[in-house]
Structure 1
Amino acid sequence: MHQDLHYFPFRPADFICCAWTAMEKVNRANGCLVVVPGTHKGTLLPHEYPKWEGGVNKAYHGIQDYDPSMPRTYVEMEAGDTVFFHPILIHGSGANRTEGFRKAISCHYANDDLCRYIDVKNSTQEELSKEIIDIVKKRVQRHHGDADDLELDYADIWRMRARAVNGTRANL
Structure 2
Amino acid sequence: MIQPQERLNPLTDEQIAEYERDGYLILRNVCSDDLVDMYNAHIYHIRAQDDMPEWALPRKGPIRAQDRFTVRVFNPHLHDGFSLQMLRHPVIRGALAQLLGDEAVGVQSMYFYKEPGSPGQAAHQDYFYIRNEPNTLTAAWMAMEDVDVENGCLWAIPGSHHVGLLPHGKVKNVEEHEPWTDESEGVDLSKEIPLEMKKGDVVIFHNLLVHSSRKNRSVDRWRRSYVGHYIRHDSVIEREDLKKKIPLS
Shorter-chain TM-score: which interval?
0.5 to 0.7
Q: CA 1:68 to 1:7, structure 2 compared with 1: closer, same or farther past 3 Å? A: same
Q: 2:227 aligns with which of 102, 106, 125?
A: 106
Find the counterpart in structure 1 of residue 130 from structure 2.
Answer: 8
> Percent of aligned pairs with the same residue?
33
Q: Aligned AA for 2:207?
A: P
- The Cα offsets for residues 117-145 of structure 1, whole Å up to 9 and x where unpaired, read as 45xxxxxxxxxxxxxxxxxxxxxxxxxxx
Q: 1:86 aligns with which of 206, 211, 215?
A: 206
Q: 1:96 aligns with which of 216, 220, 226?
A: 216
In 2: Cα distance, 1:50 partner to 1:65 partner: 13
More helix by share: 2
Q: 1:12 Cα deviation (Å)?
A: 2.6
**TM-score, with length taken from structure 2:** 0.46
Q: 2:247 aligns with which of 160, 165, 172?
A: 165
Find the counterpart in structure 1 of residue 153 from structure 2.
Answer: 32
In the alignment, is residue 17 of structure 1 matched against residue 135 of structure 2? Answer: no
The gaps in structure 1 that reach 5 residues or longer are: 119-154, 168-172
- The Cα offsets for residues 91-116 of structure 1, whole Å up to 9 and x where unpaired, read as 11121101221111111110121x13
Q: Aligned AA for 2:131?
A: P
Q: Is the 8 A contact 2:166 2:186 kept in 1?
A: no
Q: 1:19 Cα deviation (Å)?
A: 0.7
Q: 1:66 Cα deviation (Å)?
A: 4.2
In 2: Cα distance, 1:101 partner to 1:10 partner: 33
Find the counterpart in structure 1 of residue 54 from structure 2.
Answer: none
Cα RMSD (Å): 1.9
In 2: Cα distance, 1:16 partner to 1:46 partner: 18
- Say which SS state the counterpart of residue 88 (structure 1) adopts: coil
In 1: Cα distance, 2:224 partner to 2:212 partner: 14
Q: CA 1:21 to 1:166, structure 2 compared with 1: closer, same or farther past 3 Å? A: closer
Find the counterpart in structure 2 of residue 121 from structure 1.
Answer: none
Q: 1:23 Cα deviation (Å)?
A: 0.1
In 2: Cα distance, 1:166 partner to 1:66 partner: 35
In the alignment, is residue 77 of structure 1 matched against residue 231 of structure 2? Answer: no
Q: Is the 8 A contact 1:49 1:56 kept in 2?
A: no
- Say which SS state the counterpart of residue 6 (structure 1) adopts: helix
- Say which SS state the counterpart of residue 173 (structure 2) adopts: coil
- The Cα offsets for residues 20-41 of structure 1, whole Å up to 9 and x where unpaired, read as 1100000010111111001111
